Amino acid sequence: MVEQSLKIQNTYLKIIYYALATLLICVLQLSFSYLISIYGVTPDLLILLVIWVTLFEGKLYGLIFAFSVGILFDFLSMNVVGVNALTKTIVAYLAGFFYQEKEFWNIIRSNKFFLICFLATLLHNIVYYFIMVELTDSIFAIYFKFVIGSTIYTMLFTLLAFFFRIRKFW
């Protein structure tokens, strides 16, 4: 009975932790992204959070979390509703293929983490900018700029997550 109570309490604490992390990243991304923007390209830190949660908790939890984060960000950013929900869910689905129970820290410590982040971010950006890019005469240049640029920029933040992966910080 006590063990089940502790398990439920830990679940609630995880949900609160993930909710606070999501809100913090949303506020940072919406309020301060222009400060680190390079030619209009900004990193998408929510992708890294979705990958983190999916690799730590599993595919189903990651899918639910990704959809929730995406729909919240769509509403907060006053973006087309559903686009971030769709793309973040795709990221969680892809990252879920790499989920292995009790292997989270080994994945984070390996180069596999970079591969997962790169593939997921690239797929996210391809789908997102395919839906959101305006049809102009230089569509390929814009698409290349935002898809490749945002993927590389987000990967720089993946390096930070990789270097600060020591357990005592998490």
Q: What does the mean pLDDT of the chain come to?
A: 83
**Which residues, at least 6 apart from 59, have a Cβ–Cβ distance to it below 8 Å?**
92, 93, 96, 97, 99
| CATH number, domain with residue 112 | 1.10.1760
Kindly report, residue by residue over 10-19, the tens digit of the pLDDT: 788 888 998 9
**Which residues, at least 6 apart from 144, have a Cβ–Cβ distance to it below 8 Å?**
none
For residue 154, give its domain range: 2-169
**Looking at the 3D structure of the chain, how many domains does it have?**
1
Has residue 1 got a pLDDT over 80? no
In the block, which residue shows the tokens 């890294």?
48
State the pTM of this model: 0.85
Among 54, 53, 44, 52, residue whose Cα is nearest residue 79? 44
